[in-house]
Amino acid sequence: MRIAAASALLLCFALGASTSVPEQGPLAEDKIPAAIRDAVAASDRPDADKALDAGRKPAQVLAFFGVAPGMKAADLFAGGGYTTELLARIVGPNGKVWSQEPVFRRSASRSRTPGRAG
């Protein structure tokens, strides 16, 4: 199973290396949909989230994915909910957002015992 997964991953890298996609700069501010601009600029967003905006560029990311009012969206590995909150603002009352943050637990049978190779 591991060999098949590694082979598939290698194939993906090989195919990716053989194609090229022209690099594009960020969208102009006037090209970002109003629903996204309004969500990011909302005055009632948490200050901690607003402080992250410069580095995360949420308007650019959400515009790239085409998030719009009425959509259904999922935020996988949501962490503290930074993107989930923006998605909810954008999709509005007629849309739906699912947020998921997995909890990984190491099973007892797979845990390592000190002093033993595993």
Q: Which residues pair with 75 in a beta bridge?
A: 99
Q: Phi and psi dihedrals of 64, rounded to 5?
A: -60, -40
- In this prediction, residue 15 carries a pLDDT of 53
- Average pLDDT estimate for 12-36: 76
Query: What pLDDT was estimated at residue 23?
Result: 78
Q: Mean pLDDT lowest for which of 4-8, 24-28, 110-114? A: 4-8
Confidence of residue 67 (pLDDT cuts 50, 70, 90): very high
Would you say residue 24 has pLDDT above 90? no
How confident is the model over 97-105, as a mean pLDDT? 92
**Residue spans per domain, the chain:** 27-100
Residue 30, Cβ neighbours under 10 Å: how many? 7
DSSP 61: H
Where are the extended beta strands (E) located within 1-118? 72-76, 96-100
More confident residue, 19 or 5: 19
Q: How many whole angstroms separate alpha carbon 66 and alpha carbon 56?
A: 17
